A = this chain, B = another copy of it.
Amino acid sequence: MCPISEHADNCLLCKAKRPGWFCNLSPQALAEYDAMSSHVMLPMGSILFTEGQPARSVSVVCEGRVKLTRSSRDGKTLLVKIAKPGDVLGLSAALAKTPYEVTAQAIEHAQIKTFQQSDFLHFIQRHVEGSLHAAESISKEYRSVLSDACRLALSSSIAGRVAHLLLELAVEGGTDMNAQPEIHLPFTHEDLASMLGSSRESVTRVLNNFRRTGVISIKGTRLKILRKDALEILL
């Protein structure tokens, strides 16, 4: 049973540990919501949608991670976000009634719950709670992308951008920022470079520099920030 409202325990949103998304609806709205959704499996590597495509669906990630990217003509790619369970895909396209603005690719075996865009829009037109959730969601996306833009524009040095990103990931990760936060970094240097608008080699060098100077430590996919202050002065 979902801890928030009283619907059955087959709600993948609740299993997804981020029940905020349309789970605390009135039972009646919830029933409607469940009825119009369909459940889709995405094998690893499969592409859910591509930037520029007309948007026809809205989806919620239930399991696995989905990479959102945007590419330029000459093959460079910006990694916009790694969507995790509870994140919504295709929302801004639906609300602004425009084509998808990013490409979504499952980087793990993933499960999603999807809605026909028209059904979704119709739903939020009839349930304020729904449209408020939607508005709140993209607000957060907006802020996150704005931070990205600032990182790209304002930290001139690559070291600064890496520092900024690490601190942001640490806050987001929710570990205690006053101690030495530990981050789960499921990214290759290539990925990081793609988030930072930089090159793989530069990221490698900066990270090693940080490690050698005792600012961070890395064990496999766990990264620990040893000297937060050192990162902060680089911003």
Residues of B close to A92: CB separation below 8 A: 139, 142-143
The stretch that binds B, out of A4-12, A28-36, A147-155, A206-214, is A147-155
Q: Can you show 18 pairs from A to B with CB atoms below 8 A apart? A: A72-B150, A72-B155, A74-B235, A77-B154, A78-B149, A78-B153, A95-B132, A96-B143, A124-B128, A125-B128, A126-B128, A127-B128, A131-B135, A135-B135, A138-B138, A142-B142, A148-B149, A152-B153
CA distance A148 to B91 in the complex (A): 19
Question: In whole angstroms, how far apart are the Cα atoms of A132 and B140 in the complex?
Answer: 16
- By a CB distance below 8 angstroms, the chain B residues around A26 are none
Q: How far is the CA of A150 from the CA of B143 in the complex (A)?
A: 15
Can you name the residue of chain B whose Cβ is closest to the Cβ of A155? B72
The reply to whether A152 and B197 form a contact with Cβ atoms under 8 Å apart is: yes
Q: Which residue of B lies closest to A127 (CB)?
A: B128
Cα distance A71–B155 in the bound complex, in angstroms: 11
Interface residues of A (CB under 8 A from B): 70-74, 76-78, 80, 91-92, 95-96, 98, 101-102, 124-128, 131-132, 134-136, 138-143, 145-146, 148-150, 152-156, 196-197, 235
Q: A142-B142, A146-B101 are in contact. Are A73 and B235 (CB under 8 A)?
A: yes
Task: Considering the complex, give the chain B residue whose CB is closest to the CB of A98.
Answer: B143
Q: Which of A73, A124, A197 has the most CB of B within 10 A?
A: A197
Given the known A-B contacts A92-B139, A152-B153, are A146 and B235 also in contact in the complex, defined by CB atoms under 8 Å? no
**Of B72, B76, B140, which one neighbours A96 at CB under 8 angstroms?**
B140
A215 to chain B, nearest CB (A): 18
Inter-chain CA distance A75–B196, complex, in Å, is 21
Contacts of A197 in B (CB 8 A): 152-154
Interface centre among A96, A125, A131, A156 (most CB of B within 10 A): A131
Q: Chain B residues near A153 (CB, 8 Å)?
A: 76, 78, 152, 196-197
Residue among A128, A136, A154 having the largest count of chain B Cβ atoms under 10 Å: A154
